[in-house]
Structure 1
């Protein structure tokens, strides 16, 4: 391993204690004490509707697609510059994926390009809060209400991020959409190795969400005495993770504030020092829009070209520092081109710019910036 890896999963010290406690409880399958603790944490801290732990953010998106009862031929609009799971969840339902470009000032979706893409087949817009940086939620809320569309927030990297709207009051990401999804992958601020969360913000979806989360059964209603039989009532899957995963996650959530404080310190160090330490590469540095209170998930710079990006990545690796590029635009992916043909490739200039030029620098709780500086100046 390099002296400075791109990511190093953080442990609070209580993870194993809570896993052992879960074992003593005698329930290691889903929906035990620690699952409830984690779900209630999000509902109480952020005012979310109903929270459901999942094995991953990918599964949370797939669960949302089931809840919306999307059909083959329905259209879903989402940014090209995102992780493949954002599209896969809806492609698996037979939906047509319609890609929108990124903004020129940061990698989030360009909201002003959305409305011309909407037609009678459009069912949903997926807002991806890239790197924990908020999309323009006033704009998105207005558009989805106007056209009677579902709004899904892919907040995979946006735990503890906020949007400042026209009323000037910060509101947590994940509280705007009909549905919102979060990731607890090992690269995220709060991690349990692999894990996710679906937020359901509209009460009329909760009964169905209970069924989908429980493999398409009325298990919850049966346990509570509302149903006499435990039956298969619709489509669903094994979305709920084990208590082992939930126990690990709970240890992280307990220490969220200290984890965020550590990440903020490192992010601010990057902002103050990397432009000076890498001045000879002449990068354009990360921009945070005024409507966003970010969560210090990532720190990036933009090279002037693909060639310059690769030169810098090689330079850093030779010094023992692993920096990485990020998403490859989905509109130009082999899978999409196999469906539409090479000649039909969209030209989404901004998404391609970020695919070719964006560089992510190491950022994790506990990163030793003194060692990082020493390696960079050696």
Structure 2
């Protein structure tokens, strides 16, 4: 079976883990946490970086930082993972779901302003497949209505937005806050893991306190206070040094990882483009203002029947392909609270999108087999 995903090891993970264990400190915020945070901040021009145990935790920290309260409204795309919405629901927010674009599963930026009310507190754009949302437009809307922007860049590491002035900005460096995932399905991994990026300096001090269970422990260890104590709400959001050590081996090798993933993505695209056009299948669209980090390769079928035939044909040939998100506005948890209209593009991607295997260790022969099997699917 060719799996959908296979975690890649650079070769240094166990060496760094051994070093962390041998140092005598494996709880969080040690040597490897600091190395990861510094490398990522400098490479991508991020604000303050804090590693977390997951992107979910980073989103929950963001919800606390922007002071989400009961009755606040947060605009979130319907076509996303549940954590994007759940982090704000946990603080009492009402989720206002936005539709996707018709050419890409990301949020329809032109629909956002019509969803804003006097209760709106934040916009949470999701950079689906590592492809940027139109951040100039989103930030202009946010500034006009005095809203926070939390970038959900779970899939967006090493991808960029090209702004109206032609400048490349790393995803996660634009909004007031941003979140990343290092789950084993992502480009660089730590099994489970994530990161909060704080680009608005007003949140830096409090973020560190929330990260450290509501205490000023980090300031204490920097000798900035004479004792640490409970000063705010918070939780245990920081990962262990073992997780950070594993991650450091990955981010240290990100250029090589990205080159390989992009070569796989480009081969999929180039060898499927003619077949896709003949069978009314859409391939990934990357707008002119975005770059492609090869997080995933997906196809958008003409209907659910065509998608099922492709997935089943691949499965019969020992290849695992999967569909992706289900529209959150129709979810069993939230559908009774949803008061908007049908989000047709979110539903279309729910019913027709299929993701193909894409991971560093995918061989040329395996890639050839996947492409040939797709092209030979009987319709």
TM over 0.5: yes
Q: By how many angstroms is 1:294 displaced?
A: 1.4
Corresponding position of 1:296: 294
Which residue of the partner structure matches residue 256 of structure 1? 254
Asked whether the 8 Å contact 1:78–1:127 carries over to 2, the reply is yes
Q: Give the match for residue 96 of structure 2.
A: 98
Shift of 1:327: 0.4
Aligned: 1:126 with 2:141: no
For residue 15 of structure 1, the aligned residue among 13, 16, 21 is 13
- 1:148 positional shift: 0.7
Counterpart Cα distance in 1 of 2:123 and 2:70: 16
Partner of 2:342: 347
In structure 1, the partner of 2:366 is 371
Say if 1:39 and 1:51, in contact at 8 Å, map to a contact too. Answer: yes
Partner of 2:53: 55
Partner SS state of residue 223, structure 2: coil
Which whole-Å deviations, capped at 9, do the CAs of 1:191-250 have from their partners, x for residues lacking one?
A: 011000000011111110110010000112222222222110110000000000000000
Alignment partner of 1:69 is 2:64: no
* Consecutive unaligned residues in structure 1, runs of 5 or more: none
Shift of 1:29: 0.2
- Matching residue of 1:331: 329
Quote the RMSD (CA, aligned, Å): 1.4
Task: Measure how far apart 1:263 and its partner are.
Answer: 0.2
Aligned equivalents of 1:46 and 1:125: distance in 2?
Answer: 22
Quickly say closer, same or farther: Cα 1:74–1:307, change in 2 above 3 A.
same
Q: 2:303 and 2:54 mapped to 1: Cα distance?
A: 34
CA distance in 2, matches of 1:218, 1:375: 52
Cα pair 1:337 1:345 within 8 Å, conserved:
no
Residues 260-271 of structure 1 aligned to structure 2 (within 5 Å) = 260-271=258-269
In structure 2, how many angstroms separate the alpha carbons of the residues matched to 1:220 and 1:336? 38
User: Gaps spanning 5+ residues in structure 2: where?
Assistant: 374-379
Which residue is 2:377 aligned to? none
Which residue pairs with 1:241 in the alignment?
239
- What is the CA–CA distance in structure 2 between the aligned matches of 1:165 and 1:253, rounded to whole Å? 25
The match for 2:376 is none
Write out the 4+ residue segments of structure 1 that deviate beyond 4 Å after TM superposition. 276-281
Aligned-residue offset at 1:170: 1.1
Q: Return the alpha-carbon distance in structure 2 between the equivalents of residues 268 and 375 of structure 1.
A: 14
Q: Secondary structure at the match of 1:359?
A: strand
- Which residue is 1:167 aligned to? 165
Contact map agreement 1:332 1:345 (CA 8 A) in 2: no
Give 1:275 deviation, angstroms. Answer: 3.5
SS at match of 1:151: strand
CA distance in structure 2 between the aligned counterparts of 1:316 and 1:172, rounded to whole angstroms: 35
CA distance in 1, matches of 2:195, 2:370: 38
2:174 corresponds to: 176
Q: 8 Å contact 2:276–2:283 — kept in the other structure?
A: no
* Equivalent residues of 2:271, 2:371 under 8 A apart: no
> What are the Cα deviations for residues 77-110 of structure 1, in whole angstroms up to 9, with x where unaligned?
0100000000000000000000010000111100
Structure 1 residue 283: deviation in Å? 1.3
TM-score by length of 2: 0.96
The answer to whether the aligner puts 1:318 opposite 2:313 as a matched pair is no
Taking the aligned partners of 2:325 and 2:78, their CA distance within structure 1 comes to 9
Q: Is contact 1:185–1:193 with CA below 8 Å preserved after alignment? A: yes
User: Secondary structure of 2:299's match?
Assistant: strand
Check the 8 A contact 2:268/2:371 in 1, yes or no. Answer: no
CA contact (8 A) 1:321 1:372 kept: no
**Residue 274 (structure 1) shift:** 2.6
What TM-score do the two structures reach when normalised by structure 1?
0.96
**Mapping 1:205-284, distance limit 5 Å:** 205-276=203-274, 281-284=279-282
